[in-house]
Amino acid sequence: MSGKRANGEGSIYPYKNGFAAYAWVGTPEGKRKRKYVYGKTREEVHDKWINLHAEAKKGPVATRHRTLAVFLAYWLEDIVKPNLAPLTYVSYEGAVRLYINPHLGSKRLDKLTVRDVREWINKLIVTCQCCAQGKDAKRRPAQQRCCAIGGCCEAHASRRVVQAARDALRAALTHAVSEEEIGKNVASLVKVPKPRRRRIKPWSVAEAGRFLADCAARDDHLFAAWMLVLCLGLRRGEVLGLTWKSIDFDTGEIYVDHQIQRAGRQILHRETKTEESDDFLPVPALCLKALRMRRAQQAGDRKAAGELWQGTHDLVFTTKYGTPIEPGNLTRMFALRARRAGLRLIPLRNTRHTCSSLQVALKVHPKVAQRILRHSQIAMTMEVYAEASEEEVRAAIGKLSDAMDGAG
């Protein structure tokens, strides 16, 4: 029997202070290349050589292993950016730049272990991000007040930030597994502390009525936006992305299919996140009246702006020059008007909880309310109708109607 090796089997030979071996393998790119293994003894290299052959029989084997930072740069630019939503890219890019690369970026992708990820998360929890990111050092010397002058402010990452960073790493490694660069996703094997959600009591219908009545009495140019948020449960981006073409005053319906988003340095007018978010929604008479008032206000703004008018998307809610409203500004305007009306502050997103009770006050039929609220089961809508039937609800809406009549 001949001792000659088969074609492509490779060989073991002395190398520097030990031994080396290679075998021909198929790569993820579809090419055939040599893959090397090294060790101090011939027996050690022989075992690695045998494992390499077994790995090559299972499928493609990567011959060049990138660092995690190099792979993440490729993943962000070629996978995330062209295929996912702009906000997703902004979120992942920030997590990679601020939290992952400074700690794990120099490690080889194939050498990353569960222990590495666990130690990274533990370190991230106790690291002052003001120190790590040099936030105070970037300020002018006269404005420096903590880390840059020796007084650490202990600005630790929140649980939500830690979870977002781990999720970004997990998503990247999932893609690395699908491209057969690594065998398993070590980030998915590490648990992170779950962020605790702070429960905020939403406004009652009476409080929502006070808010809307105050805005109507002051002829607020965003009054129709607050009506849509509170009466139809529209999200902030959906309200700002609404166009006049999407409103049918004859049938009393609006079509929600676009949104305004801030993605990095850009404000985008784009489709809603999923097809399930798109829908024709019936609009109560009070909302239609508010939208007609808004149309008259915008016509006045356009006339006053003259050549400075920049409206391009036919948006319902714009600045006085026709440009889209910054999403963050809408949140701040909501808080400002709540204080002006003497109400306790709640996040703008929490107004959707109040929307359910307002449907009852507006005497909207339960099946119609189910469509507006986008409840999957009518039982959920009926629970709201059973709870919100107080006389103060009717009184609040009556007060709102009177205020609108005066504003009209």
Which domain CATH number covers 72?
A: 1.10.150.130
Q: Is residue 370 located within the same domain as residue 334? A: yes
The answer to whether 316 touches 240, Cβ cutoff 8 Å, is no
Q: Is residue 218 located within the same domain as residue 364? A: yes
Whether residue 1 is contained in a domain is answered as no
Burial category of 132 from C-beta neighbours within 10 Å (exposed 0-12, middle 13-18, buried 19 and up):
middle
pTM (2 d.p.): 0.68
Whether residue 197 is contained in a domain is answered as no
Whether residue 3 is contained in a domain is answered as no
Mean pLDDT, residues 16-36: 80
Burial pattern 332-371, b for ≥16 Cβ within 10 A else e, equals ebbeebbeebeeeebebeebbebbbbbbbbbebeeeebbe
Whether residue 224 is contained in a domain is answered as yes
The answer to whether 68 touches 112, Cβ cutoff 8 Å, is yes
Mean pLDDT, residues 328-337: 93
Mark which of 121, 156, 189 sits at the end of a domain. Answer: 189
Mean pLDDT, residues 152-162: 88
CA distance 109 to 100: 13
Whether residue 195 is contained in a domain is answered as no
Q: Where does the pLDDT of residue 276 fall: very low under 50, low under 70, confident under 90, or very high at 90 and above?
A: very low
Q: Is residue 259 located within the same domain as residue 284? A: yes
Q: Where does the pLDDT of residue 166 fall: very low under 50, low under 70, confident under 90, or very high at 90 and above?
A: very high
The answer to whether 274 touches 203, Cβ cutoff 8 Å, is no
Domain holding 374, by residue range, is 205-407
pLDDT of residue 273: 62
Burial category of 250 from C-beta neighbours within 10 Å (exposed 0-12, middle 13-18, buried 19 and up):
exposed
Tokens (6 digits) for 382: 């009926």
Q: Is residue 215 located within the same domain as residue 74? A: no
- Of residues 198 and 86, which shows the higher confidence score? 86
Mark which of 189, 220, 239 sits at the end of a domain. Answer: 189
Whether residue 340 is contained in a domain is answered as yes
The answer to whether 35 touches 63, Cβ cutoff 8 Å, is yes
Mark which of 150, 165, 189 sits at the end of a domain. Answer: 189
pLDDT in tens, 207-262: 888 898 899 888 899 999 998 888 888 888 889 999 999 899 988 888 888 888 78
Q: Is residue 289 located within the same domain as residue 220? A: yes
CA distance 332 to 224: 17
Q: Is residue 369 located within the same domain as residue 310? A: yes
pLDDT in tens, 90-123: 999 999 999 999 999 999 998 899 999 999 999 9
Q: Is residue 318 located within the same domain as residue 259? A: yes
Whether residue 6 is contained in a domain is answered as no
Q: Is residue 20 located within the same domain as residue 86? A: no
pLDDT in tens, 298-331: 999 999 988 888 877 789 999 999 888 998 999 9
Mean pLDDT of the chain: 82
Q: Where does the pLDDT of residue 2 fall: very low under 50, low under 70, confident under 90, or very high at 90 and above?
A: very low
Beta bridge partner(s), residue 268: 261
pLDDT of residue 6: 46
Whether residue 311 is contained in a domain is answered as yes
Q: Is residue 175 located within the same domain as residue 279? A: no
Beta bridge partner(s), residue 286: none
Q: Is residue 83 located within the same domain as residue 124? A: yes
Q: Is residue 279 located within the same domain as residue 338? A: yes
Nearest-5° Cα angle at 148, 145 to 154: 75
CA distance 21 to 144: 57
For residue 8, pLDDT beyond 50: no
Q: Is residue 391 located within the same domain as residue 263? A: yes
Please count the structural domains in the chain.
3
The answer to whether 121 touches 192, Cβ cutoff 8 Å, is yes
pLDDT of residue 93: 94
Which of 7-11, 59-63, 215-219 has maximum average pLDDT?
A: 215-219
pLDDT in tens, 356-379: 766 666 666 777 667 666 666 777
Q: What is the CATH number of the domain that holds 239?
A: 1.10.443.10
Closest CA to 227 of 151, 170, 288, 307: 288
Residues 6+ away with beta carbon under 8 Å from 167:
95
